Amino acid sequence: MTLESRRRLGRSSLEVGPLAFGGNVFGWTADAVRSFELLDAFVDAGLNLIDTADAYSRWVPGHSGGESETIIGQWLAARGPAMRARVVIASKVGVEMAPGEQGLSRAYILRAVDRSLHRLQTDYIDLYQAHRDDPETPLEETLRTFDELVRSGKVRAIGASNYSAPRLAEALRISTELGLARYESLQPPYNLVDRRTFEADLAALCAREQIGVIPYYALASGFLTGKYRSEADAGKSPRGPRARSMLDTRGLRILAALDSVSAATAATPAQVALAWLLGRGVTAPIASATSVPQLRELLGATRLRLDRSMMDSLDAASA
């Protein structure tokens, strides 16, 4: 991976590789030792964007949130200042961490960012994202607070996650009119199974406003790896219920198209699914791995180029 293969995140100065590591697994399905191995392998491959959130992994029984950021912070401390300069750390704020500790109000963001900085053991967060829209807080208040963080040096750039097109457009308008830092990226759900959420109106907005796109659920919770092909397969995994919902005529048609392109390119279905996203022009799909061999497989997507006929076949199967 070379610097030339990186792309700018929106209009910011941040340059990121074509794949982001999904840090939701750190402290959950990957313990500290395994997480360090994964992060080392990711950076050694020339990639740099590590996506996390303060709420990861609060959904796990016995967890309170912050586990992912804490492990990333321990890794950064162990690897030293040179490593911090090599990576782009993206975190998020807004999802409930405790009763009354949620949302995008000025008071809460200021508390939350200091907690994230402490867990990450760093002086700044490269990309600080609103985890989801907060209709209870005026957009101007949220954006003024983010702008304050950028001006103070605690944050280098800001982004949005799970915003609708009208709300994202309104946020961009406010930032422009008031001279505030603007959202430089959007993190939407986007993959071969779920195309409508992003393509309906967000894609055109992001292209027009030069917003970087960092899709999550890039592999549709593992469905696009091809490991779920029957009810029996779905029953073997905690993600089974989600996978089972995709095992319909369209889902099987998508898997068949992935198999066809995989055979033609000597790639795996997961690599093809990620390469399709890159072919659609996104900045960096987010993908997670819990072992180094699994990570290396996903990294193969950054070297895979799908021709027009392959893209067309995948487009048609997932239409």
pLDDT at residue number 303: 95
- String of b and e for 247-262 (b: at least 16 CB within 10 Å)? beeebeebbebbeebb
Query: Does the annotation count 190 as an active-site position?
Result: no
Q: Which pTM was predicted?
A: 0.95
Mean pLDDT value across the chain? 95
Give the model's pLDDT for residue 2. Answer: 41
Amino acid at 135: P
In order of start, what are the domains of the chain with their CATH numbers? 3-187 (3.20.20.100)
Q: What is the pLDDT of residues 288-301, one digit of tens each?
A: 999 999 999 999 99
Average pLDDT over residues 130-159: 98
Give the active site residue among 56, 128, 183, 217: 56
Q: What is the pLDDT of residue 229?
A: 86
CA gap 84, 91 in Å, rounded: 15
- Give residue 244's pLDDT: 83
At 105-134, the pLDDT tens digits run 999 999 999 999 999 999 999 999 999 999
